[in-house]
A and B are shown apart, each in its own frame.
Chain A
Amino acid sequence: MPAFDLAVTTRRELNAALHALPANTNETHWHVANPEGAHALAAGVNAPVTIEIDGHAGYYCAGMNQLATVIVNGNVGVGVAENMMSGRVHVKGDASQAAGATAHGGLLVIDGNASARCGISMKGVDIVVKGSIGPMSAFMAQAGNLVVLGDAGEALGDSLYETRIFVRGAVKSLGADCIEKELRPEHEEILTKLLLDAGVEGVSPQEFRRYGSARGLYNFHVDNASAY
């Protein structure tokens, strides 16, 4: 198992080694010690390997991830899994702002809380937060699912497009054009699968409320036809 101690080697060496991995590599389990809040750890990986980071990571950890599984045994800074395309990122502590921002695919699991703007502009990623999320989460979120076992802060889902938001706890307030919607069987199915994937046990999909776009902001309004 390749191991990097960031007290000894540099983050650039780590990322360069990860970027050089071919898709069929046999070095499938990487271990990173002493991250000490360094930024851009395991960003831009494009190989089906597992990278375990022992400690707190800084900004943009596992950003742009494709195929890899990144596990952080600690907290992460701003923009974890930003623009992730596929794969899985698992944060065992808390996440700072903009977790999963603009991410297109894959699964982001946060065992603790995520602060402001979680899932901002998400474009297809699935995010499961076992704690609570901060204000302005899922701002302009376009696709994918945001599942929150705890509470959500102010202005949830402001200017939302088509992301589905599921919250089990209290929502402080909804943003513009975000409304509560009926939790139908197909949504329960989605939730059941995501809770299973995220390793959540003993929680029923029926405990969640669903929020989505009222579609009043982003759809073309026929009254404006004469403006063109």
Chain B
Amino acid sequence: MCGIVGLFLKDPALEPDLGRLLADMLVVMTDRGPDSAGFAVYGGGDAGHLKVTVRGPRLDEVEDALAGIARAVRRDTHLVLSFAVSFEEQVRGWLALHRPDLVVTGSGQRIELYKEVGLPRQVADRFALPAMAGTHGIGHTRMATESAVTTDGAHPFSTGRDQCLVHNGSLSNHRSLRRRLEREGLSFVTDNDSEVAAGYISWRLREGDSLTTALEAGLEDLDGFYTFVIGTENGFAVMRDPISCKPAVMAETDRYVAFGSEYRALVGLPGIEQARIFEPEPAHAYVWERN
């Protein structure tokens, strides 16, 4: 069992509150996933700059070594490096050479991605999620059933620039799909089936699909059960498997679109009493995008 929450803001006035709202939603889903949690927030960013979130020990060393080219913001076990796109090769090269032990959790113009083992409340507080601003965010609380409780196994997974995915469910054909995607040039950090799903969507987007057609293609290629919530630089999407094995409820108002594994997660949102509450249909791609 896992818990998923997602919040996509339409009203810019709510952007300073994104982290606070998302943190509250995440904590309500503790019952569904008490062993680890993670979230991606789409905050500020410039077109000419790249943000790379890395996770691991001895982050001071990274900060110092890259001080000349990257601005670093430290949050507990994670470090967000921001630098001009022209420095990308240099930054990634340094990381690969000097600190191969670090994990890049996500990168893009706006995404920041954090995950850790522990209760969702603790994870949210360690990274100061309540104080984060942004346009949209996705969170996940994990109850590991088939693999170890590790930070690597926590969601979200990011396999493309400004892309991330959280998953409730499990896939049966992730081994064969992984081999197919590796032949297409994708690489994976973990053995997790959800990372393969994220990679699949990244691959479809790379091949020119829209979010909608990428998710529809997944109906054919992904075998298993799933509720996915997906973030892109300007988009937010939801897809459930054809028998809607895993729960999902959504709320939409003029100000936001919100997703929760259970309605309880949505209770604290502003104006929830007037929101349109609905259950996403199975095998139907729901996509919202900002212009």
Contact = CB atoms under 8 A, between A and B. Distances in A.
A75 B277 contact: yes
Size bracket, chain A contacts: 10 to 19
Interface residues of B, number: 14
B265 to A, nearest CB: 8
Contact of A56 (B244, B263, B281): B263
A130 B99 CA distance: 62
Interface in A199-216: none
Given A56-B277, A75-B277, A115 B244 contact: yes
A65 interface: no
A96 B247 CA distance: 9
Contacts of A115: 244, 279
Contact of B262 (A77, A97, A134, A135): A77
Interface string B269-283: 000000001110110
Contacts of A36: 264, 267
Contacts of B243: 116, 135-136
B279 A37 contact: no
Query: Looking at chain B's contact residues, is the secondary structure mostly helix, strand, loop, or mixed?
Result: loop
A37 B263 CA distance: 6
B199 to A, nearest CB: 28
Nearest to B240: A116
Given A56-B277, A96-B279, A115-B279, A37 B244 contact: no
A135 B282 contact: yes
A38 interface: yes
A58 interface: yes
Contacts of B281: 134
A161 interface: no
B261 to A, nearest CB: 10
A58 B244 contact: no
A110 B277 CA distance: 16
B282 A78 contact: no
A136 B242 CA distance: 11
Contacts of A93: 277
A17 to B, nearest CB: 22
B149 interface: no
A37 to B, nearest CB: 4
24 contacts: A36-B264, A36-B267, A37-B262, A37-B264, A37-B266, A37-B267, A56-B263, A56-B277, A58-B263, A75-B263, A75-B277, A77-B247, A77-B263, A94-B277, A94-B278, A94-B279, A96-B247, A97-B247, A116-B244, A116-B282, A134-B281, A135-B243, A135-B244, A135-B282
Given A78-B247, A96-B247, 4 more contacts: A37-B267, A75-B263, A134-B281, A135-B282
Interface of A: 36-38, 56, 58-59, 75, 77-78, 93-94, 96-97, 115-116, 134-136
